[in-house]
């Protein structure tokens, strides 16, 4: 869990020039003052690294990644960054040589150390990963030591650290295609929905897309279920892999289903529960990547957790204390210290697939 002392890394006050949708989401969700500050500052920092133009932060690192190999930016998240000290006044996430990191002008950003000697900051993490054809997992050559210039966002308000790290994703799918993956909940199409598979469906089971790879990642595939029956893939994005969700046919659905709400404002520090087929655990949201104006398949909406599950937990429903859906559990980033869990945010899933959720 995020220690109380880590909340001292939040910039004071409310940021200026935050996007209107962010302010509205915070107000509509009736967030407590500290949670609202974390939500507003996280999105203001995301906004800052995205709005600096062609010579800004994201284009710079996209160019650096492509120069070093077939790599690109795969995620950008903002919120709490736990790091460990090496005894030499340097910070490290304890990555292998594949790391390339950039922490900006750190003295300008507040930092605190908890009793476990983990140093906490509030800032932005940019994940770099391989650029690869659909459905492939190529071997990755590690980055060599880098000598990146030390920049920091110098816009209005406090400076903040930016850390760029190699994204090595450990997806918690079953150990083989016939293993029992976790299903999150049931889904029904909204009126006027676009059917990406070209086939109309009425009741579905929501799962993580990656558990279908490589054998079942096409519409119409028959997926073996733990009951011994099969279910057809009725909806998934066959063009991109950014939205880690798919829908299986659920005919007939069980009786007595109830509507499942979706959390509108996922903020750093939000306490969540993950209910997997193998393990169930509680966690805090460390960082978020969210956008209320774009739900397409070019950018993944993600949350990073301070805990993680086991093989077979992929697709677990992640909920808040009120039982509303936060997202689908994907897996973990195993090279970080501590290891972080990764979640596909549910609001992107429901908007992109135009579905309502049921439990």
Encode pLDDT of 228-246 as tens digits: 778 899 998 877 678 999 9
Nearest to 243 by CA among 348, 332, 131: 348
**Residue 174 CB coordination number (10 Å):** 17
Contact indicator for 185, 217 with CB cutoff of 8 Å = no
CB atoms within 10 A of CB 339: 14
Contact present, 69 and 100 (Cβ < 8 Å):
no
Phi, psi (deg, nearest 5) at residue 340? -115, 140
- Nearest Cα to Cα of residue 49 among 128, 185, 152, 142: 152
- How many angstroms separate the Cα of 354 from the Cα of each of 124, 159, 175, 196? 30, 38, 31, 11
Burial letters for 300-319: b for 16+ Cβ neighbours within 10 Å, e otherwise? bbbbbbbbbbebbbbbbbbb
Residue 175 DSSP one-character state: S
Q: What is the reported pTM?
A: 0.85
Residue 181: its pLDDT value, please? 59
Structure-derived torsion over alpha carbons of residues 209, 215, 219, 223, reported in degrees to the nearest 10: -80
Direct distance between the N- and C-terminal alpha carbons of the chain, in angstroms, rounded to an integer: 27
Both tokens assigned to 215: 């054998």
For 151: left if phi > 0, alpha if psi spans -120 to 50, otherwise beta; the answer is: beta
Q: Which tokens hold the place of 352? A: 């992109």
Cβ-contact 8, 109 below 8 angstroms:
no
The first and second tokens of residue 161, run together, are: 């650290």
Using the structure block, give the residue that is written with the tokens 């049931």.
186
- Which among 183, 165, 164 has a CA at the least distance from the CA of 174? 183
User: What local confidence, expressed as pLDDT, does residue 281 receive?
Assistant: 94
Name the residue ranges covered by the structural domains of the chain: 4-167, 194-249, 259-358
Contact call for residues 249 and 45 (beta carbons, < 8 A): no
pLDDT at 331: 92
Q: Residue 2: its pLDDT value, please?
A: 92
Instruction: Assign domain 259-358 one CATH number from 2.40.30.10, 3.70.10.10, 3.40.50.300, 2.40.10.10.
Output: 2.40.10.10
Strand, helix or coil at 276?
Answer: coil
CA distance 244 to 249: 17
In which residue ranges of the chain is pLDDT below 50? 86-108, 133-155, 177
CA separation for the pair 214, 141 (Å, rounded): 23
């Amino acid at each position: 869990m995020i220690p109380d002392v880590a909340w001292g890394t939040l910039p004071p006050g409310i940021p200026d020039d935050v996007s209107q949708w962010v302010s509205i989401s915070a107000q509509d969700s009736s967030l407590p003052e500290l949670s609202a500050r974390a939500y507003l500052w996280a999105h203001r920092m995301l906004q800052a690294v995205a709005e600096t133009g062609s010579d800004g932060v994201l284009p710079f690192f996209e160019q650096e990644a492509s120069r070093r190999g077939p790599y690109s930016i795969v995620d950008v998240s903002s919120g709490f960054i736990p790091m460990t000290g090496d005894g030499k006044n340097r910070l490290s996430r304890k990555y292998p040589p594949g790391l390339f990191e950039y922490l900006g002008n750190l003295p300008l950003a507040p930092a605190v150390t908890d009793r476990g000697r983990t140093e906490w900051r509030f800032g932005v993490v940019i994940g770099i990963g391989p650029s690869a054809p659909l459905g492939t997992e190529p071997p990755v050559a590690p980055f060599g030591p880098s000598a990146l210039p030390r920049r920091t966002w110098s816009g209005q308000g406090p400076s903040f650290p930016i850390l760029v790290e190699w994204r090595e994703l450990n997806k918690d799918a079953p150990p083989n295609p016939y293993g029992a993956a976790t299903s999150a909940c049931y889904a029904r199409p909204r009126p006027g929905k676009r059917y990406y598979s070209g086939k109309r469906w009425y009741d579905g089971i929501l799962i993580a897309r990656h558990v279908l790879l490589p054998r079942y990642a096409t519409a119409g595939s028959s997926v073996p279920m733990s009951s011994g029956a099969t279910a057809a893939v009725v909806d998934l994005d066959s063009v991109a892999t950014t939205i880690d969700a798919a829908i299986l046919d659920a005919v007939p659905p069980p009786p007595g289903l109830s509507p499942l709400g979706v959390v509108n404002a996922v903020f750093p520090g939000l306490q969540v529960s993950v209910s997997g087929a193998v393990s169930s655990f509680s966690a805090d949201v460390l960082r978020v990547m969210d956008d209320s104006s774009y739900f397409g398949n070019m950018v993944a909406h993600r949350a990073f957790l301070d805990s993680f599950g086991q093989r077979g937990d992929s697709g677990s429903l992640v909920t808040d204390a009120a039982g509303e859906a936060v997202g689908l559990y994907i897996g973990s980033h195993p090279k970080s210290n501590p290891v972080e869990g990764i979640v596909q945010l549910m609001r992107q899933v429901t908007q992109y697939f135009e579905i309502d959720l049921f439990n």
